[in-house]
Amino acid sequence: MNFDLTDNQKLVRDMVRDFAEKELKEKAVEIDKTQEFPWDILKKMAELGLLGIVVPEEYGGAGMDFISLAIAVEEISRACASTGVIVAVNNSLTAYPIEHWGNEDQKKKYLPLLCKGEKIGAFGLTEPNAGSDAGSIESTARLEGDYYILNGTKRFITNGGEAGIFVVFALTNKELKHKGISAFIVEDGSEGFSKGKHEELMGIRATANCELIFEDCKVPKENLLGEEGMGFKIALGTIDVSRIDIGAQAVGISQGALEEAIKYSKERKQFGKPICEFEFIQGMIADMATKINAARLLVLRAAYIKDKGEKRFSLESAMAKWYASEVAVDVTRQSCQVHGGYGYTKDYPVERMFRDSKIMELYEGTSEIQKIVIARSLLR
């Protein structure tokens, strides 16, 4: 049993923390207001290897482990939750399925673009009528000559408005239901592909969340990911991985909120002393710190199991994602409470962190879906 990070993992943490402190903390305030997608930051991150952390070096990535990816997402999210999820989606929802299920040509063509930040990735699964029930998607794809013709609408797509490479799911065989789902790599600019409504979100506001519209969209047949009918398996396998990073994002937001609470409670004086000397405040800080520690351990353990590669980790990644999400909402709420009335203003970052945290319980599977995954795994 060993809880220590390796030297390399520690260096990744220190580097990303330093980067996030200097480059992201102020930017987070600005892009929360403007909803501007942080391209300038992403270019810098690409140079540091943060957009393809687990992608093998031969495809332009850094070839590191999933623990390092989780650490990086946590540290980025500690400063800016929007940037945290943009990076997570690029790494684990786009590069990962292409790297894991793609053929050599697909990997050579698309992974370097994603790693270098020349194109950002997005994941098109959710539809207006298929959220938690992801197997019920209605988008279709039919093979005509050298192309698959895609029709349908995707909803709530993180990075959607700015992404250049999409992993999109559509039915190639309706009769087979979820077993008839296939996955495709779709490039922005494909004929018949357009971006729809931009969603104005409560939190993670700089993530270019939008609708994707496919109207007889032509996708070259060589862009089928895996084989026809493998789509649902690819989707679930990908989400198992990305849930670790959403958990890491939640831990990062929580850690940021805790640090703000500690700082404020030492500065703010009431009744003649800093409020950190009051037991109610101390209780909140102890509660926040302990829950964050537990959430982080769940996240890192899920990443550790993935790195070992010996067994499925759906259970562990669902536990990590669920618990860390609930902790994020709880901790950011408590951090606002420590700040009193000031925590309800935009003068302090906890107001944004509180808003950013809510999505954690919703995307990559709601908390309720995580519990179903966990329970099914145990009751099998």
Partner 1 sequence: MNIAVCIKRVPETAEAAVNIDSSEKHIIPDQLVFDINEADNYALEEALLLREKTEGDITLFTVGSKESDEVIKMGLAKGATRGVRITPENLDNLDAYAVAKLLAEQVKEGNFDLILTGCISSDVGNSQVGVTLAELLGIPHATLVIKMGIEDGFATVQRELEGGLLEELKIKLPALFTIQTGINEPRYASILGIKRAAQKELRVIENITAEGMKAEVVKMYYPPVGKMAEILEGGVEEVSGKLCEILKGKGLL
10 binds partner 1 (CB under 8 A): yes
Distance CA 268, CA 281 (A): 12
57 binds partner 1 (CB under 8 A): yes
14 binds partner 1 (CB under 8 A): yes
11 binds partner 1 (CB under 8 A): yes
Instruction: Please identify, using beta-carbon distances, which residue of 16 and 331 lies nearer to partner 1.
Output: 16
Q: Are 209 and 156 in contact (CB under 8 A)?
A: yes
Among the residue ranges 9-17, 155-163, 189-197, 247-255, the one whose residues contact partner 1 (CB under 8 A): 9-17
320 binds partner 1 (CB under 8 A): no
Instruction: Please identify, using beta-carbon distances, which residue of 137 and 285 lies nearer to partner 1.
Output: 285
Instruction: Please identify, using beta-carbon distances, which residue of 57 and 105 lies nearer to partner 1.
Output: 57
Q: Are 348 and 342 in contact (CB under 8 A)?
A: yes
Residue written as tokens 């349908």? 152
Distance CA 46, CA 155 (A): 27
Question: Which listed residue (38, 49, 252, 365) binds partner 1 by CB under 8 A?
Answer: 49
Q: Which of 162, 222, 364, 368 is catalytic?
A: 364
Q: Which two tokens stand for residue 106?
A: 């697909």
Q: Which two tokens stand for residue 84?
A: 């945290």
Question: Which listed residue (5, 15, 236, 374) binds partner 1 by CB under 8 A?
Answer: 15
Q: How far is the CB of 265 from partner 1 (least distance, A)?
A: 13
How far CA 205 is from CA of 60, 115, 195, 201, 356, in Å, comes to 29, 23, 17, 6, 8
Distance CA 188, CA 186 (A): 7
How far CA 368 is from CA of 35, 127, 193, 377, in Å, comes to 29, 19, 33, 14
Distance CA 147, CA 216 (A): 10
43 binds partner 1 (CB under 8 A): no
Residues between 266 and 295 with contacts to partner 1, criterion CB under 8 A: 266
Q: Does the annotation mark 364 as catalytic? A: yes
Instruction: Please identify, using beta-carbon distances, which residue of 64 and 235 lies nearer to partner 1.
Output: 64
Residues between 249 and 268 with contacts to partner 1, criterion CB under 8 A: 266
Q: How far is the CB of 275 from partner 1 (least distance, A)?
A: 16
Nearest to 10 by CA among 87, 94, 68: 68
8 binds partner 1 (CB under 8 A): yes
Q: How far is the CB of 188 from partner 1 (least distance, A)?
A: 27
Q: How far is the CB of 306 from partner 1 (least distance, A)?
A: 18
Instruction: Please identify, using beta-carbon distances, which residue of 57 and 191 lies nearer to partner 1.
Output: 57
Q: How far is the CB of 287 from partner 1 (least distance, A)?
A: 20
Q: Are 54 and 91 in contact (CB under 8 A)?
A: yes
Distance CA 56, CA 152 (A): 33
Burial class (CB in 10 A: 0-12, 13-18, 19+), 13: middle
Instruction: Please identify, using beta-carbon distances, which residue of 24 and 224 lies nearer to partner 1.
Output: 24
The site for partner 1 (CB under 8 A) is made up of 7-8, 10-12, 14-15, 18-19, 47-50, 53, 57, 62-64, 68, 266
Residues annotated as catalytic (active site), given as ranges: 364
